[in-house]
Amino acid sequence: MKTIAIIPARGGSKRLPQKNIRTLGEIPLLAHSILYAQANKEIIDEIYVSTDDIEIKKIVLEFGAKVIDRPEAISGDLEPTVSALKNALEQIGKPVENVVLLQATNPLRPQNLLHEAFDLYEKEKYDSLFTVSRNHQKFGKIADNKFIPYNYEIGQRSQDLEPLFFENGLLYITKAALILDNIIISENAFPFEINHIFAEVDIDTQEDFDYAAYLLSKNKTIQ
């Protein structure tokens, strides 16, 4: 296999219980990422979901992906994502060149995103790539009851700010060899910029879920 997709999906979410199996639109949250991977079969050879949850396993099989049974030891709240990816590769046991990480909590992605990102990843021979978006807010910190600007000067216009970017979680592409060394984003990883309303969705709370449902209902034609 040259390229596989891995979707980590624990069952133990605390802030929004059972979020991965909650219905978003007409299907479970998790299924959006499975269907996205399936829609990119020209790139992705197989789709795996790493989980410790019985109900999630049922959804995975229903939507045509493969289950990786995640050990309890790496299913805790504080366990890094790379642990699930590494474990999945070890269980698969077959040669894999590239891993596409799709996070279930980022269910909405532009249709052509993976194609555009993967084409660049292969053309430039990057060892990893991840999506970022520009942030236009004025940041600062509070010390001794005073606000200290970080990325601007008081009175400066927002459009004149030095660009800052955030890791939006929509997509990661990494060499499998790096993941086996516990790395998802390498020092030379390419930051693939995408400024799209879907980059604002990262579901961790009920408010996040409601916002995703709103965008899905209002922007079904946005790609």
Each residue's pLDDT tens digit, 149-169? 888 888 788 777 788 899 999
Percent of the chain with pLDDT over 90: 78
Does the residue 148 lie in any domain? Answer: no
Q: Is 223 inside a domain boundary?
A: no
In a domain, 145, yes or no: no
* 211 occurs within a structural domain: yes
Please calculate the CA angle 173-179-184 and round it to the nearest 5 degrees.
50
The total number of structural domains that make up the chain: 1
Give the domain extent around 198.
3-133+166-218
Q: Return the number of other C-beta atoms located less than 10 Å from residue 32's C-beta.
A: 22
Confidence of residue 220 (pLDDT cuts 50, 70, 90): low
Average pLDDT over residues 9-17: 83
Look up the pTM and report it: 0.91
* Distance separating alpha carbons of residues 22 and 144, to the nearest angstrom: 43
E strand segments, 29-102 = 46-51, 66-69, 98-101
Could you tell me the CATH number of the domain that includes residue 76? 3.90.550.10
**Residue for token pair 């929004």:** 16
**The dihedral of CA 47, 44, 29, 70: what is its sign?**
positive
Distance of CA 61 to the CA centre of its chain: 21
